[in-house]
Amino acid sequence: MGKFINISVIGAAGKMGQQIMSQAQVSDKFNIVGAIETKDSSFLNTDISSLIGGKETGILITDDPLSCILKSDAVIDFSSPSSTIEVCELVAQARKVHVIGTTGFDEEEEEKIKAAARHATIIKSGNMSLGVNALLETVKKLARSLDNDWDIEISDMHHRDKIDSPSGTALELASAAAEGRGIDLHSSLDISRNGSDLSRKNGDIGIVSLRGGTVIGDHSVIFAGEGERIVVSHFAENRNIFVKGALKSAEWGIDKGPGLFSALDVLGIQK
């Protein structure tokens, strides 16, 4: 690796992909060498300037991730679960850094990511911002200090176009609460309250997901006790907080060696 860190962006035409390329383009640390989109994308074979503006760069958007991975030090991926799984297997073969901001994986896909991390440096987080990762630790500590008589509810609000629910951030907040309480997340998670006879079970962690407008990401965790509540929240006002975290993760992962890491590792927040 020379002066610059060579990166490729998976999901280049998405909101996050465009902002990552825009910030990397003007950075003195990163050099964009690849931009990947799906085979049916209308942007294929066009210069990335068609997405981020400015002069033509000579970097054409492609549906061939392997060619981009091979000339990259790191790939930054905000795409779809199926695309991410395909890419992480290629990144593992190439022994490169893979920053994953994609959410909505099922258990089988999560296992594939863990397997790929035996060969690649994978930094995976449902939310790359410093504030959210600080919130995760706050939630964990609160859950540890309060008993099961305090109900835990998570509010998860995103823009109308977000396709997964609950969001990766909401699930990470639920995981932090479960870890704080020393319980299994899957047996205590309640995300499907519909119908009747839905009395709350003691110790459940509930999530309600709201989708609408252009909301970037609002998350609140409510600890509801007898006669009192504690509410901790994070509101994302722009996507730059996620972009900065993703680029910082790519830089952090260089020469780190194989393993599955999170934004907590990158930010140096004590787990």
> What tokens were used for 149?
């008589």
> What tokens were used for 171?
């699930």
What residues pair up with 260 in beta bridges, in sequence order? 122
Task: Exactly one of 96, 124, 140, 162 is catalytic; name it.
Answer: 162
Task: Exactly one of 158, 219, 234, 248 is catalytic; name it.
Answer: 158
Helix axes 130-145, 240-253, angle to 10 degrees: 90
> What tokens were used for 88?
């992480």
> What tokens were used for 241?
């907080």
CA distance 193 to 96: 42
> What tokens were used for 153?
């509810």
Are 124 and 162 in contact by the 8 Å Cβ rule? The answer is no
Q: Is 71 a catalytic residue?
A: no
Q: Is 219 a catalytic residue?
A: no
CA distance 93 to 61: 22
Q: Which residues are catalytic?
A: 158, 162
